Amino acid sequence: MQFSQIHHCAVVVQDLERGAAFYRDVLGLREIAIPATFRPAGLEVRWFQIGVQHVHLLLGSEAAPPSRRHLAMQVDNARAARLLLQAKGIEVSETVPIPGADRFFIRDPDGNRIEIIEWKETSGAVSPPGGDSSG
């Protein structure tokens, strides 16, 4: 078995309309159709495309407690993304630098943590214990 990529991540939100507005209007993701079988089965979801991957919003009764868990979205210009999000009233949290990258964190209206990252180069990584990063 060999994995090729991450297809999607799921984010729990308490209000699908509010969550969809954030991912669509604030982050600029394109909303896509959900499978026709979902609504008849009682599944309340919204799907968004980012590159070839998806972000799926799932309706939940309560928000997840704050944690370091997050999804990361790559951008072509982190500085411009930072300024645009701040202009939209989104709080930006700076974090530990990664050599060759510019990154920061934001939270969606339900408190889900999102890393925004621009990779400028891929050097400066540390190999995992007991292995190398050559893959």
- The pLDDT value recorded for residue 65 is 81
The stretches of 3-135 forming alpha helices (DSSP H) are 16-21, 78-87
| Distance of alpha carbon 117 from alpha carbon 78, whole angstroms | 6
* pLDDT 10s digits, 7-56: 999 999 999 999 999 999 999 999 999 999 999 999 999 999 999 999 99
Q: Do domains 1-61 and 70-122 have the same CATH topology?
A: yes
Please indicate, yes or no, whether the overall pTM of this predicted structure exceeds 0.85: yes
* pLDDT 10s digits, 43-96: 999 999 999 999 999 999 877 788 899 999 999 999 999 999 999 999 999 999
User: What residue spans define the domains of the chain?
Assistant: 1-61, 70-122
| Distance of alpha carbon 81 from alpha carbon 117, whole angstroms | 9
Tell me the CATH number of domain 1-61, given options 3.40.50.300, 3.40.50.720, 3.10.180.10, 3.90.76.10.
3.10.180.10
